[in-house]
Amino acid sequence: MKKILFVCVENSCRSQIAEAFARIHGGDEVEAYSSGSHPSGVVNPKAIEMMGEIGYDLSTHASKSLDEIPDVIYDFVATMGCGDECPFIRARAREDWQILDPKNMPPDEFREVREEIERRVKKLLLDI
């Protein structure tokens, strides 16, 4: 089973969406996690709404810090444009996905970011 981690600053939007898509598309072959370098403590209501549009209940997720995820060597870590605020995490492979934070975007732009995250997660799952 592959262990994948998605990290952003607040763990309220982008990384939560990526974790959801990894669970949706990775099935039983993936353990997906998300966390934040400075978690907000809540999942963004717009992210919950946008994932609800495609039938995924993101309200079951929780905003977590890096201290709350397993201390393992991940097969892959994707950071979501958090730059220096994302500390080093042990991983066999990593990428920084420069994805704009959609939290203040209008719905159509938010959907575009959601679709971009899904596209990247699907590609990642094929590559690992």
CATH number where 27 lies? 3.40.50.2300
The whole-number pLDDT of residue 84 equals 52
| Three-state DSSP string of 25-49 | HHHHHEEEEEEECCCCCCCCHHHHH
Which candidate in 9, 20, 86, 117 is catalytic?
A: 86
Q: In which order are the strands placed within the sheet that holds 76-79? A: 30-36, 2-8, 76-79, 94-96
Which candidate in 5, 7, 8, 51 is catalytic?
A: 8
User: Would residue 82 show up in a list of annotated catalytic residues for this protein?
Assistant: yes
Q: Cα-flanking dihedrals φ and ψ of residue 87, to 5°?
A: -70, 170
Q: Band of the pLDDT at 128, cuts 50, 70, 90?
A: confident
Which candidate in 82, 113, 117, 125 is catalytic?
A: 82
Number of domains in the chain: 1
Over residues 13-59, the pLDDT tens digits come to 999 999 999 999 999 999 999 999 889 999 999 999 999 999 999 99
User: Would residue 13 show up in a list of annotated catalytic residues for this protein?
Assistant: no
Residue 93 belongs to domain spanning: 2-127
